[in-house]
Amino acid sequence: MKLIFELPQKENGIIEKRLGTEEVLYCIPYDVDFKGNFAEGWMVVTQSRIILLLNGSLEDEFEISRGSNYKAVTYTGSGVLEGNFDGTLKPVTGYSMTHVPRYMYMARILNELAEGKIPKIFLTEDDHVCSQCGRAFIRGTHICPFCTSRIKIIKRLFKISKPHWHMYLLVISIFWAITGLSMIPPFINRHLVDDYLIQGKRELASILLLVGGLFACAALNTVLVMVRGRIMARIGGLLSMDLKNMVYKKIQSLSLGYLDKRKTGDLMNRINGDTREIQSFIQDHGAMGVNEIILLIAVGIYLFLNNWLLALFVFIPVPFVAIACRKLGTSIGRKFRTQRRVWDKTNSFLQDILSGIRVVKAFGQEKRGIERFGELNREYADVTINNEKYYNTLFPIINFILGAGNFLVLYMGGKLVLGNNMSIGELVQFCMYANYVYKPLRWLGFMPRWFSNAMIGAERIFEVIDEEPEIKDDENPIQHGIRGKVTFRGVTFGYKSYEPVLKDISINVEKGEMIGIVGRSGAGKSTVINLIMRLYDADEGEVLIDGIDIKKLSQKDFRSQLGVVLQETFLFSGTIYENIIYAKSDASYEDVIRAAKIANAHEFIVKFPDGYDTKVGERGQRLSGGERQRIAIARAIINDPKILILDEATASVDTETEQKIQEALGRLVKNRTTFAIAHRLSTLKSADRLMIIDNGSLVEVGTHDELFKAKGLYHDLVVAQRKMSRMQGA
Amino acid sequence: MLNLAIEKKENIPESDIIRYITPRMARFYRTEGGFLSLEIEPGEVYARVNLYRTFPHKEARRYISVLNDKGKEIGLIKSIDDFPPETVRLMEKELSRRYFVPAILKIRSIKEEFEYSYWDVVTDSGERRFTVQGRHNRLVSISETRHLVIDVDGNRFEIADYRKLDPKSIKIIETLI
């Protein structure tokens, strides 16, 4: 993220004069003024002051320390940086949405400068604009569609497919063979026409030989094309498989931070969709394409060598058609996109209505849906018909123009023949070769688009493969048998580093202690847990396990000793048995049953017709919330974890189930260091100590009794909770 | 449980009453820093209030919600034009500060490349160049003729009535709508 922009000359002069030797720490654009106009301004920040430049002149100056509570407030479409100066709230600069993240950083930086501190800011967020050409990156990536080097990508793809080099060799030889074969028939035809038709030779045997030759060429060609197709399919398939494996493996190894920022759909697209693009490009277009180009070159050379004038006539229409295609290409693209858009509209509408059909019927709005669908259908039909009319007019015309060369050739060639400068056979041969030219040319017209798409697909895949996981193991990660002591030392962290969610948290948790984490929604409770699980690394401070910095431990080894029961119980598609042994694949049947018994799950599992082999997940048995929770507890127990993470479900279950779950949890937390985000009063009371988090800070620590008596935040939260329970009649 | 609910009804605060803020009982004025302050008779003072449009697409000057600096609603202004002209100007300024949606007056060019379009326009807040990703939900039609354009950073631009633009601009924008 760029926080130091270069000032234009005039502004630079003003600043230099004003500052003298004082160093400029930051300089960012100030592009919306307070009258609501776009402006060309800059905010220059030094250790002690803020200088504002607007439209080429000095606008204002502030002393940073006289202000406090700097805040970047975002409105709709713009934002304002405010500060509290000597008790009055004043706006400092205005900016468009483009600079929102920059100003959020600056607000934090200014607050630190105002307190005389040196700002420690982590600039991990990037711009989404290419620094080379200024174009926006493809959404969700750092790929600039303009700047990516196609050559590099191709080189890389070749490197990946190196293991299959013998297949490539075979395929290339087949390409040449096919091209060679194609050159023969016209030659045979010439002789047939010249020697036999015209001159009247009547040797049946030789005729049959020539015809046989034609037949053989055709047959061999067919065989070679078949083989070529199969090999290309294999190459495409293998390459695709290799890429998919690489991407999937990488995604699994990447940290939660990266995965959080992306949607599941996007990742799935990269693994399946993008690899398919490459595969289909290689199979469908690549194979034919290379052949066409080779053919084009070979034929082109022959034609020009033979009779350059005629050859010229063959190639003349080409540039015209190319230019026309270019110009029309955009309008064709637009038509296609409009069609696509209406199609999407119709689809979304259908999906909306059908998913919500209950609501439609409950409110009796079917007629409205029918009318609307009719409208959309009509629109789609109109657009499609229009487009088809267009294509059906356009393409025949283009084809005709392309083929127009033929008439020229015939005319000129005819004159040559009549003037005895060329035999008919030669003309026939020439024409046949000429016809070979048009298909490749047509193909070349479409090629750039296909190629582009495939390259972008490849680039997206490489982007994932190249990504370095944020949370990396140390060079020599320590494998440590956890005993259970956890320490937080001055931990500060934010998902976006300029917005810390946890501020300066410090606490020492002994082995076997059960800690309840309490706080309002969004206070930072889940974040504490994420840090203990090392799904993220702290921005400042340390997390220590048994006195060892968590960053020095091997992630795999560490996490295999954790037990986790989260709020949303996610069970994979599989059997109950498979889900329970998820973390411990070498568990015995006794292990599983024992774990399920401790979790109070065994009894209901056994009652299912398929027992532990019951399939759960999306396509399987529908389990109640309480049942899922208990299976999740069994899953957490089976590994005998030393540190347990518990994120209590807030969904209410019936009292009996509640009791069973509480019992199971009670057994689970015995003698294990437990961190529990607690909502139930009973859990809170049974905890050894409680951490009360408010707005990211650890405000109170102690037992339930201590904190309640202290009548602080915890006390208020409990009282409010009690009131709620009474209102609900609980 | 039913009894408890009926019993407790009196303790539940009323929530569906709209409190209208009218010129008769309220005065808005400008603070030193340029923000908006409110005083409601008798003696209810808010050092800083924020104005929000409840129907930003349909009603620019009516049904304006007034929130205190903690985000709680103080009341609703039925129409800002009910207030004296000075106050109306203050409110307009405050609203335009919050809702910065420049109106496109003229489209110089729109270049489409890959999945993005690069716009060069003249707005009532000055010239601007911006990038729009795709067109799916970035070119929103509020009505048949009124559109909203959202660029890759979230900046918004409005085309009040595309038919009222100059012919060149209409030609450019027509194909996209």
Residue in B34, B113, B126 nearest the CB of A91: B34
- Sign of dihedral through CA atoms A224, A225, A227, A228? positive
CB neighbours of residue B119 within 10 Å: 21
Statement: residue A121 has pLDDT above 70: no
For A650, the 3-state DSSP assignment is coil
pLDDT level of residue A603 (50, 70, 90 thresholds): confident
Statement: residue B16 has pLDDT above 70: no
Q: What is the mean pLDDT of chain B?
A: 83
CA distance B70 to chain A (A): 13
- Put simply, the answer to whether A100 touches B127 (Cβ < 8 Å) is no
Among A168, A148, A145, residue whose Cα is nearest residue A158: A168
Cα separation, A168 vs A172, whole angstroms: 6
- Put simply, the answer to whether A77 touches B126 (Cβ < 8 Å) is no
Statement: residue A73 has pLDDT above 80: yes
**CB of A29 within 8 A of CB of B114?**
no
pLDDT score for B8: 47
**CB of A42 within 8 A of CB of A30?**
yes
**Residue B73 φ/ψ region, left for φ over 0, alpha for ψ in the -120 to 50 degree band, beta for the rest:** beta
- Does any CB of chain A come closer than 8 Å to the CB of residue B136? yes
Give contacts of A339 with chain B, Cβ < 8 Å.
Answer: none
Please name the residues between 106 and 125 in chain B that touch chain A, using a CB distance below 8 Å. 112-116, 118, 123, 125
Statement: residue A506 has pLDDT above 90: yes
Calculate mean pLDDT across residues A220-239.
87
CA distance B28 to chain A (A): 17
Calculate mean pLDDT across residues A465-485.
80
Size of interface A-B (CB pairs under 8 A): 95
| Chain A residue with the nearest C-alpha to that of B51 | A75
- Put simply, the answer to whether A77 touches B48 (Cβ < 8 Å) is no
The residue of A74, A78, A456 whose CB has the most chain B CBs within 10 angstroms, and thus the best one to mutate to test that interface, is: A78
Calculate mean pLDDT across residues A586-599.
88
The residue of B31, B100, B124 whose CB has the most chain A CBs within 10 angstroms, and thus the best one to mutate to test that interface, is: B100
CB neighbours of residue A369 within 10 Å: 17
More confident residue, B61 or A660: B61
Residue in A77, A145, A727 nearest the CB of B100: A77
CA distance A37 to chain B (A): 4
- Put simply, the answer to whether B154 touches A727 (Cβ < 8 Å) is no
Cα separation, A692 vs A699, whole angstroms: 6
> Model confidence over B104-117: pLDDT tens digits?
999 999 887 766 78
Statement: residue B5 has pLDDT above 60: no
- Put simply, the answer to whether B99 touches A75 (Cβ < 8 Å) is yes
pLDDT score for A491: 92
pLDDT score for A119: 74
- Does any CB of chain A come closer than 8 Å to the CB of residue B65? no
**CB of A473 within 8 A of CB of A554?**
yes
Amino acid occupying residue A361: K
pLDDT score for B4: 43
Residue in B34, B115, B155 nearest the CB of A98: B155
What is the percent of chain B with per-residue pLDDT over 90, rounded to a whole number?
A: 33
Give residue A64's Cα distance to chain centre.
41
What is the percent of chain B with per-residue pLDDT over 70, rounded to a whole number?
A: 87
- Does any CB of chain A come closer than 8 Å to the CB of residue B37? no
pLDDT score for A445: 67
Question: Highest mean pLDDT: which of A123-127, A329-333, A364-368?
Answer: A364-368
Give residue A291's Cα distance to chain centre.
35
Calculate mean pLDDT across residues A346-371.
84
More confident residue, A318 or A650: A318
Statement: residue A68 has pLDDT above 80: yes
Statement: residue A338 has pLDDT above 80: no
- Put simply, the answer to whether A91 touches B113 (Cβ < 8 Å) is no
Q: What is the mean pLDDT of chain A?
A: 82
Please name the residues between 156 and 175 in chain B that touch chain A, using a CB distance below 8 Å. 156, 175
ipTM of the prediction greater than 0.95, yes or no: no
> Model confidence over A35-45: pLDDT tens digits?
778 888 999 99
pLDDT level of residue B2 (50, 70, 90 thresholds): very low
- Put simply, the answer to whether A344 touches B136 (Cβ < 8 Å) is yes
- Put simply, the answer to whether B175 touches A334 (Cβ < 8 Å) is yes
> Model confidence over A422-466: pLDDT tens digits?
888 888 888 888 778 777 777 776 666 677 777 777 777 777 777
Give contacts of A128 with chain B, Cβ < 8 Å.
Answer: 152
Residue in A90, A97, A135 nearest the CB of B33: A90
What is the percent of chain A with per-residue pLDDT over 90, rounded to a whole number?
A: 13
For A50, the 3-state DSSP assignment is strand
Statement: residue A510 has pLDDT above 90: yes
Question: Integer distance in angstroms from the first to the last C-alpha of chain A?
Answer: 52
- Put simply, the answer to whether B152 touches A32 (Cβ < 8 Å) is no
Interhelix angle for A424-466 vs A204-253, to 10°? 10
> Model confidence over A159-201: pLDDT tens digits?
777 777 788 788 888 888 888 888 888 888 888 888 877 777 7
**CB of A405 within 8 A of CB of A433?**
no
- Does any CB of chain A come closer than 8 Å to the CB of residue B100? yes
Got the DSSP string for A487-523? EEEEEEE-SBTTB-SEEEEEEEE-TT-EEEEEESTTS
Number of separate helices (H) and strands (E) present in chain A: 24, 19
Cα separation, A248 vs A720, whole angstroms: 47
Cα separation, A658 vs A332, whole angstroms: 63
- Put simply, the answer to whether A91 touches B8 (Cβ < 8 Å) is no
pLDDT level of residue A151 (50, 70, 90 thresholds): confident
CA distance B97 to chain A (A): 7
> Model confidence over B45-100: pLDDT tens digits?
998 899 999 888 888 899 999 998 888 889 899 999 999 999 999 999 888 888 88
- Put simply, the answer to whether A38 touches B123 (Cβ < 8 Å) is yes
CA distance A78 to chain B (A): 6
**CB of B101 within 8 A of CB of B53?**
no
pTM of the model: 0.64
Residue in B99, B135, B136 nearest the CB of A77: B99
Statement: residue A650 has pLDDT above 90: no
CA distance A565 to chain B (A): 33
Cα separation, A333 vs A325, whole angstroms: 11
Statement: residue A124 has pLDDT above 70: no
